[in-house]
Amino acid sequence: MATKTANVNSRMKLDIKQQAESILDRLGIPRSVAIDMYYRQIIAHNGIPFALTLPNELTEQEEPAVEK
């Protein structure tokens, strides 16, 4: 039985795409394989496979407005 596949479409800044694909090329990893690896890690970790944190101190511009 043939394995079913699906397409993933995303938009990102051109420089980010180019830098990442340059690294993937040097590693010999096709973009589709890298995306598949990332999705598999999401499944394995039951979430994003790296820490998502905010800096300890936000600047005044970044702080959300708090009503008093």
**For the segment 16-32, what is each residue's pLDDT rounded down to a tens digit?**
999 999 999 999 999 99
Q: Tokens standing for 49?
A: 């496979």
Residue holding tokens 């999705």?
A: 39
Q: How confident is the model at residue 4 (pLDDT cuts 50, 70, 90)?
A: very high
Amino acid letter for position 9: N
Under the banding of pLDDT at 50, 70 and 90, the label for residue 63 is low
Give, in order, the Cα–Cα distances in Å from 53 to each of 48, 56, 67: 12, 9, 24
- Quick check: 51 and 61 in contact, CB under 8 A? no
Give the pLDDT mean for 33-51. 97
pLDDT at residue 2, as a whole number: 85
Q: Are 38 and 30 in contact (CB under 8 A)?
A: no
Place of tokens 């790296």: 50
